Amino acid sequence: MLPALVAGMLLVGVGAGAKERVRRFTDWQGHDAPLARRGGKAALRRRAVVEALFEEAGVAFPPAELLLRSYKREQELEIWASGARGERMKLVATYAVCAVSGDLGPKRREGDGQVPEGYYRIQYLWPDEAFHLAMKVGYPNASDRALGGSAPGGDIMIHGGCASIGCLAMSDERIEELWAMASETGERVEVHLYPTRKLGELLADPAYGEHHAFWANLYEGERMFEETRRPPRVSVDWRGRYLFARDEPRD
């Protein structure tokens, strides 16, 4: 049972001095339907809320494209979307993450408790007995396999509840909103996972020296997205290094 939490919205600083409303996790629990019906009931229950978020952001719902972008140290998950394929994405909402595990730095082996860092897609959505609803993140990718050990682990989720072993736990109410978005999106949902919004602080900290080269490469994709508001096209070379190609907006 989660402790009582204040639901609703919290004003915090995001980006270069901007103010965004962050949707806080709540203690509402949603195990009120059989597994087979849980996803459909959640999407129906949260559709009006989600439609209002998209309307306020000026993005058609259901969206043509959806991006989930998370920062581990800040424990935030941003929702970006476009109403038509190839358009610049707009920020729809920012969610507070209820729980993450591990330290800053990528996931490299099974059982290390780390939340991955990198570029992924949602592989599938499923109702989960322990965590209400879950969205499977496509870890390990080609970079993880090249840079990690022989047993990189798996089963990384964005899910309900407020407990994490390498996953992003969002609380039941908020995962229902994310489920309502993702289940309506025709295109595959992209997931970009970063250690922090403030890369410069990490690159100046010798305690994280082993990750500096990886992070410098990782944030090339973030800078490209900030310039274009389009997710870059991502590939991986034989060394595990990310390669990025600009996807110029069509609008």
pLDDT truncated to tens, each residue of the chain (251 aa)? 333 322 333 333 333 333 358 999 999 998 887 888 999 999 999 999 999 999 999 999 999 999 999 999 999 999 999 999 999 999 999 999 999 999 999 999 999 999 999 999 999 999 988 899 999 999 999 999 999 988 998 999 999 999 999 999 999 999 999 999 999 986 789 999 999 999 999 999 999 999 999 999 999 999 999 999 999 999 999 999 999 999 998 87
4 located within any domain = no
235 located within any domain = yes
Domain with 215 in it: 9-245
pLDDT number for residue 221: 97
Report how many domains make up the chain: 1
Contact 160, 132 (CB under 8 A): yes
Catalytic residue (choose from 132, 167, 192, 211)? 167
Estimate to the nearest angstrom the gap between the alpha carbon of 23 and the chain centroid: 14
250 located within any domain = no
CATH number of the domain encompassing residue 186:
2.40.440.10
Q: What sign has the CA pseudo-torsion 11, 14, 16, 18?
A: negative
Q: Compute the C-alpha angle 182/222/53, nearest 5°.
A: 35
211 located within any domain = yes
Question: In degrees rounded to 5, what are phi and psi of residue 180?
Answer: -60, -35
Catalytic residue (choose from 98, 132, 159, 211)? 159
Report the C-alpha gap between 41 and 156 in whole angstroms. 24
Report the C-alpha gap between 80 and 231 in whole angstroms. 10
2 located within any domain = no
pLDDT number for residue 8: 37
Q: Which residues of 195-234 are buried (b: 16+ CB within 10 A; e: fewer)?
A: beeebeebbeeeebeebeebbebbbebbebbeeebbbbeb
Contact 88, 251 (CB under 8 A): yes
251 located within any domain = no
Catalogue the E-assigned strands of 146-251.
Answer: 157-159, 168-169, 190-194, 233-236, 242-245
229 located within any domain = yes
For residue 102, give the 3-state DSSP assignment.
Answer: coil
Question: What count of other Cβ atoms lies within 10 Å of the Cβ of residue 238?
Answer: 7
Q: Respond yes or no on whether the N-terminal peptide bond of residue 249 is cis (omega within 30° of 0).
A: no
Per the annotation, the verdict on 192 as an active-site residue is: no
Per the annotation, the verdict on 31 as an active-site residue is: no
44 located within any domain = yes
pLDDT number for residue 9: 34
Residue 241 CB burial class (10 angstroms; 0-12, 13-18, ≥19): middle
User: Using one digit for the tens of pLDDT, what is the confidence trace for 184-205?
Assistant: 986 789 999 999 999 999 999 9
